[in-house]
Chain A
Amino acid sequence: MRLLVSWLQLLLIAPSLLVAAASDYHEQLTLRPLPFSSVLASFHFRSNTSLTDFESQNFRLFPRSLGQILQHAGTRELHLRFTLGRWDAENWGARPWEGTREGGTGVEMWAWLDASTDEEADQKWLTLTNALSGLFCASLNFIDETRTIRPVKSFQPEGHHSAETLANTRLLHGVLPHEVVCTENLTPFIKMLPCKGKAGIGSLLDGHKLFDASFQSMAIDVRPVCPPGEDCFLEVEETIDMVLDINRSKRPQGNSIPRPVPPQDLVCDQSKPYHSDKTCFPIDHLGSPDWNLAQVFGRPMKGTCPLADPEVPPVCIQVPGSRDVFSTEGSQEKQGADGQSRCYLLDPNNDFTLALTNLRSDDKATEEIVKPEAPLLYADRSFTGYGQEHGGVQAILTNPSDEEVEFVYLESLPWFMRIYLHTLSTHVSTSTATSTNSSTPNSDIIKEVYYRPALDRARGTQLELVLRIPARHTVFLTYDFEKAILRYTEYPPDANRGFDVAAAVITILSPRGMNLRTTSLLLYLPTPDFSMPYNVIIFTSTAIALAFGGLYNILVRRFVGADEGPPSPIKAKLAQLKAKFMRKPAATVQQPTEAKK
C-alpha cells in the first residue's frame, strides 16, 4: 500500500518535474576560506526559460525586464560584469569560475548581436547599452564608439549557436573602467532573482558587506543552450563573487570603526623577552579567526528559496575535512561532489547559519584552509616613464607552471593614448633568476598580432596578441605611447585625476581555458590650467584693443597737408593761452621793449 502511494506521488510529481526541466531555477553559495583571514563567497543563481516561452514573452523565472531588453536589441548572448577591487592571485590563488565570471575594474560588457552589417550592430549596441544603463543604474550609456571594440580572438560564444545564426551576429565589447560599482547596481541585480533577497542565499546579499569586500564581482550571463536531442532554452546566470575580510566583516554595523582593541584583548607573542603588560608583539594576524555566516554577512540566511531545485544543496563550504564546521539544527550535511567541500541541505523555513571555530595555535597538525590552487599565469601591468608627452606600458606575465601557456592578450585603449606598435617588444627571463636574461626574438613569444588603430575622437585602439610563454618563464611585454592633447572642453571636471585605462583581458587558450584581467591604470594627460582661458581672453582683448585702435585710427583718418587743413582748435587754444601768459610778464617786466617798438 505504502509503495503504491509513493508510486502515485511520483506519478503526480513527474509532470511538474518535466515542466521544471524546461524552466528551472538553481542557486548555490560556495564558501572558501582563504589565507590572511579572508573568505571567498561565490553566489551562483541560474534560471532558464525555453526559447518558445521567451519568444512568446512568457517569462516565469527568467527576469522579464532583462528579457524584453534582449529581445528589443536583438541580443543572442550577453555578458555583463560589475567589478570592484582586485583579485590577489599571489595569496588567493586561482580565480573562482576560472576567471570567466569577472570583469575589469568598473563595468565591462560584451554581447553577440543579430546584425548583418556593422552599422546595424552599432545601432543595436547603442539600444542595448542605453536600456541596460537604465536597468542597472550604471553609466553604461557612456560606452560609446570610442570605448567599443570588436574582439577577434579573445571571446568565443559560450552558448550553442547554429553556424548560420553566428554568421549573422556581431560581437561587440565595451568597458567603463572609471565606473564605481555600488549599491544602486546591486538592487536591480537582486530584483532579478526569483526570490529577490527575501529567502534563500539571496537573503545574505547586503550592500554594506558586499561593497566592503576586498574584491567583488557581479556577473550576468545570458546564453542559449541546446542540449542534444532536446529543445533549446535560454539560460541566465547571475554570479556574485566576493572576498570578505573576516575581521572587517565581523565588526558590528553600528560600530564599524576599527578602534584599537583594549590592551587585555591583544593577542601577544609571550615568548618575546621584552613582553610585558605594556609591550606586546601582536600575533593576532596569524591563524584564521572564528566566524559564522550571520556575523560575516550581517544577517542569517532566511531559509531556502521555494522555487529553487530542492535537490541542490544551497550552501557549500570548502575546508579541510579535519576542520570542524557547525551548522544550525535541522540542516543536513552532505559530502560535496569534489570531495573537498561539505554541502548543507537546510530546513526551508528556518534561519540558517554556519560557524567555523578558531584553531588553537598549538594545534599545528590541522590544516586551516584548503590550499589555493596556483593560477596558470600571473599578470601585472603598469606604466613606465614620466612626464606629459610620452609614456610606456609594461606588462609582466609570469608562467609559474611546468607547462607552456598560450593565451590572448587584449588591450582596449582610449584614443588619446596613441601607441607606437613598432615599439612593441618582449623580453624573457626565467622566473627563478631574473638576472639571466635571454633575449628571445619577438616571433617566438608573439604568435599573432591583431591591431586596429585608433581614430581621434572616433574609436579606440584594439590590440590583440597571441602569446606563448614557456614553462617557468616571465615575459616583459612593453610598448610606448604618446599622449594626445585634448580640447579643453573634452576634459572631465576632475581632469587632474587622470584618465582610467581599462584592464587588459587575458584569455588562456591552452593548457585549459581560463580568464584573467590586470588592474586598470591611471593615465595623466597634459592638463591645462583651467583659469588660463580667462587670462588668454584678457590678454587678447588688450592686444586687439591696442592694435585695432591704432589701425582704425589710421584707416578712418583723412590725411591733408599741414598747411591745407584748418588750424587745430586745441593748438589755437594753446596759442591763446601761451599768448596770455607771455603777455602778462611782458606787460610788467618788458615794458621798455614794447615802448621801443
Chain B
Amino acid sequence: MSRLLSTALSLRRDPRVLKLPPYLSFLCVLIGLVWLLLLPLDNYCRKNYISENALLPGQVHTYFGGSEHHVLRAYRNEVEALVDQDNHQINDKLEEILRGFGVKVGRQSYTYHAAGHEYSGENLYGILQAPRGDATEAIVLVAAWKSIKGELNHNGVSLALSLARYFKRWSLWSKDIIIVFPPDSHTGTQAWVDAYHDAHDPKHVAPLPLKSGALQGALAIDYPLNHRFQSMHIIYDAANGQLPNLDLINAVVNIAGGQMGIQSFIQGMRQHKGTYRDRLRTMFRGMLSQGLGTAAGPHSSFIPYHVDAVTLQPYGTGFHDEMAMGRVVEGSFRSLNNLLEHLHQSFFFYLLIQKDRFVSIGTYLPSAMLLAANFSIMAIFLWVKSGQSPQSTSEDRGTKAGKASSEKEIGSSLSSGAAERGFIFPLGLVIVCHALSAIPLYTFNHLPAELLPTAFAAFWALSSALPFVICYGIGPLYKPTQQHAHLTKAFSLLILGMALSTLATLNFSLSFIIGLLAAPLSFVKSTKSQVLNFSISALLNLISPPAIIFAAASVYGAEVGEVLREASFGWHIWGMYTPVVVWAVWWPAWTIGMVNTLGLAGE
C-alpha cells in the first residue's frame, strides 16, 4: 500500500505524465461517445421485467364492455354537444353527469403567466371514494379536455366518464379513484397537482376544495381519434427529464399487449423492428425529449411529486375500439389497486430503447460521466501547468535522477519549480462571465413572446461580440499573462465539469448533450498565428449556444421565438431548469473558451 503510494507520488513528477492529460481527456470524450452507441446492443441492455410482484398486470378479467358501450356513446354525444362552449359551461355539464352517479366533485381555477400570455382555466375533478377505503391512498385518471396537440379529447373525456360510472359499481377498490378533467394538457394538471400537495402559489392557483389520500399513480388518456385505432403510444417523459417508475410502463405494456393484443410503442417510434438502428433512434429520441426537459403530456406534472404516471395515446387506424382502450385502463387500475406499497422497486433512471428493453443507470451513466470528467481532467492539468514557471520543466529533468531519494529533496525541487499564481484576474473574469448569464436567463423568461425573436438576435450579436470585447477591450488593461489564461480556462472547465457530472445524475441526457457540445472547449487554445486563432474562433461560433438553439429550431422547422416561448412557459409553469443549464453553465464556458482562443495573453 505504502509502496504503491510512493510510486504514484514519484510518478507525478514525470514529465511524460504531464503531457498525458489532453490525450486522456480526448480519450474520455471518445469512450463516452462510443459507450453510448454500444448501449442498444443486446449485451448492454436488459429485457423489461415486473419487479413489484403486487402489480400482477393482466392477471384479472376486465369486464368493461357490453352495454357500457351504449353508455359511452351517450356520453360522447354529451361531450360533443359542448364543443363550442366555454370552460365553465363544459365543467357545469361534466359536474352534472358526475354528481348524477354519486361522485363528489370539486373545481379549481388557476391563472398562469408566461411569455406575456395568460393561461387560465378551471379544473374539474371527481373523487370516487373507495367503498371500504379510508381516504389514505388514491389513484388518478386524467382526461384533459384538449389533447396534447390541442384537439378535442372527446373519446378520452367520455371514456373517463363511463369508466367512472363503471368503477363505482365495484367494491374491490382499496384506493380512492380521482378523475381529473383539466381544460388542457399543459397547465391544468400542473395547477391541480401543485394544489393537491399544497405547493401552489395562492396568488395564481386556487386550493382544492376536496382532497383524498396520498396519490399512488396516475394514468392520462389522450384520445382525440374519431376512428378505431391500431396501436397505443405510451408517453412517459416528465419535466426536467424525470421518469416514472419503470414498473408502471411495463405493467401498461404488458396489459395492452399481453391481455388486449394492442401493440404499444414509445417515443413516437411506430415501426420498431428491434434492429440496432431502431433502438438507437428510440434512445436518441428519448434522450432529446429528456434533454429538452419539457413536459410531454398531462401526466408529467405528477412525477416531480413522486407519483408515477404515464399518458396513453391511441394511434393509427386499426381494429381496436374505445372499449379496448377502456379495458386497458381498467386493467391498469386493477394493477395499481393491488399495490400495497408505493411503487419503489424497479428503476427510476433508465433509457428505454424499445418498449420492452431498457438500459439501467449503472450502464449508461459512465458515458455522461466520462464526458464531464474530460473537463475536470483538463482543468486539473491546466491548474498544474499554471503552477509551473517556464524554466521549471528543464529543472525537472535535472532532478529526475535523484527522485528516488528522500522526500525533502522533492519538496525543495517543487518549490523551486513552482510559480506564484495570480488569482484575481482569472477568478474575476470567470465570475463576471457567469454573472452575465443572469441577463439572458432573465430576459428570455420575462419578455413577452412577440419580443423574443428580436431579443434573441440581439443577444446572439452581443454574445458573439463579448469575447472580442474581453480580449481586446478589457483584457489588456490588466496585462494578463499566459498563466492567467491557463487559470481562467482551468476555473471555467472545473465549473463545467462539476456542474455536468452533478447534472448527469439528475438529467443524464441534458448533461450528455451539453457535454458533447462543449467538448471542444477543453481543447481550444490560442496559437501564435492570429489567422488560425480567428478561424478557430469562427468555428467555435458555430457551436455557440445561440447558434445551436437556432440550428436545432430550424432543423425541426420551428421558429426560434416559438422555442424560447416554450422554454419560458416551461420555466414558469413546470419549473423546467434547462434554460439555467444552457445560459448559466454552458454559455459562460463557451464565452471563456472563445476568449482563450482569441488569446487572452495577447502574445
Contact = CB atoms under 8 A, between A and B. Distances in A.
Contact of B171 (A212, A386, A392, A497): A212
A519 B136 contact: yes
Contact of B214 (A260, A268, A384, A498): A498
Contact-residue bracket for chain A: 35 or more
Nearest to A549: B1
Contact of A214 (B131, B197, B199): B131
A36 B132 contact: no
B65 interface: yes
B212 to A, nearest CB: 8
A263 B136 contact: no
Give the 8 A-B residue pairs with the shortest CB-CB distance, closest first.
A550-B1, A384-B198, A496-B341, A260-B66, A258-B169, A522-B136, A105-B134, A281-B74
Interface in A462-519: 494-498, 500, 519
Contacts of A519: 134-136, 213
A330 interface: no
Q: Binding site of B, secondary structure by majority: helix, strand, loop or mixed?
A: loop
B311 to A, nearest CB: 22
26 contacts: A84-B132, A85-B133, A85-B134, A86-B129, A86-B133, A86-B135, A214-B132, A257-B63, A258-B63, A258-B169, A259-B66, A260-B63, A268-B74, A274-B74, A274-B77, A280-B70, A282-B74, A286-B100, A384-B197, A394-B198, A495-B341, A496-B344, A519-B213, A522-B214, A524-B214, A553-B2
Contacts of B129: 86, 88
Interface string A196-215: 00000000000000011110
A558 interface: no
Nearest to B197: A386
A323 to B, nearest CB: 21
Contacts of A522: 136-137, 213-214
B198 A385 contact: yes
A360 to B, nearest CB: 19
Interface in A406-444: none
A434 to B, nearest CB: 9
Nearest to A557: B2
Given A278-B73, A282-B165, A385 B134 contact: no
A280 B74 contact: yes
Given A263-B66, A281-B74, 20 more contacts: A84-B134, A88-B129, A212-B131, A248-B131, A268-B74, A274-B73, A278-B69, A279-B73, A281-B75, A282-B165, A286-B100, A380-B211, A383-B214, A496-B342, A496-B344, A497-B341, A519-B134, A519-B135, A524-B214, A527-B344
Contacts of B134: 84-86, 105, 519-520
Contacts of B104: 90
Contacts of A521: 136, 213
Interface string A522-565: 10100100000000000000000010011001100000000000
Given A212-B171, A260-B65, A266 B136 contact: no
Interface string B338-352: 001110100000000
B171 to A, nearest CB: 5
Contacts of A36: 102
B342 A279 contact: no
B49 interface: no
A520 B214 contact: no
A185 interface: no
A500 B136 contact: yes
Nearest to A90: B104
Contacts of B66: 259-263
A247 interface: yes
B305 interface: yes
B160 to A, nearest CB: 15
A84 B69 CA distance: 34
B103 to A, nearest CB: 10
B79 to A, nearest CB: 12
B278 interface: no
Interface in A250-303: 257-263, 265-266, 268, 272, 274-275, 278-283, 285-286
Contacts of A90: 104
A593 B166 CA distance: 105
A251 to B, nearest CB: 9
Contacts of A285: 100-102, 165
Contact of B2 (A214, A282, A385, A550): A550
Contact of B70 (A278, A384, A495, A550): A278
Nearest to B66: A260
B71 interface: yes
B356 interface: no
Contacts of A286: 100
A524 B341 CA distance: 11
Nearest to A274: B77
Nearest to B211: A382
B341 A385 contact: no
A108 interface: no
B566 interface: no
B58 to A, nearest CB: 17
Contacts of B137: 522
Contacts of A380: 211
B394 interface: no
B67 interface: yes
A43 B173 CA distance: 26
Nearest to B162: A282
B341 A263 contact: no
B78 A281 contact: yes
Interface in B58-90: 63-71, 73-75, 77-78
Contacts of A102: none
A91 B104 CA distance: 10
Contacts of B63: 257-260
Interface string B361-373: 0000000000000
A281 B101 CA distance: 12
Nearest to B342: A496
Interface string B130-147: 011111110000000000
Contact of B340 (A274, A497, A527): A497
A245 interface: yes
B135 A261 contact: no
A234 to B, nearest CB: 33
A247 B101 CA distance: 12
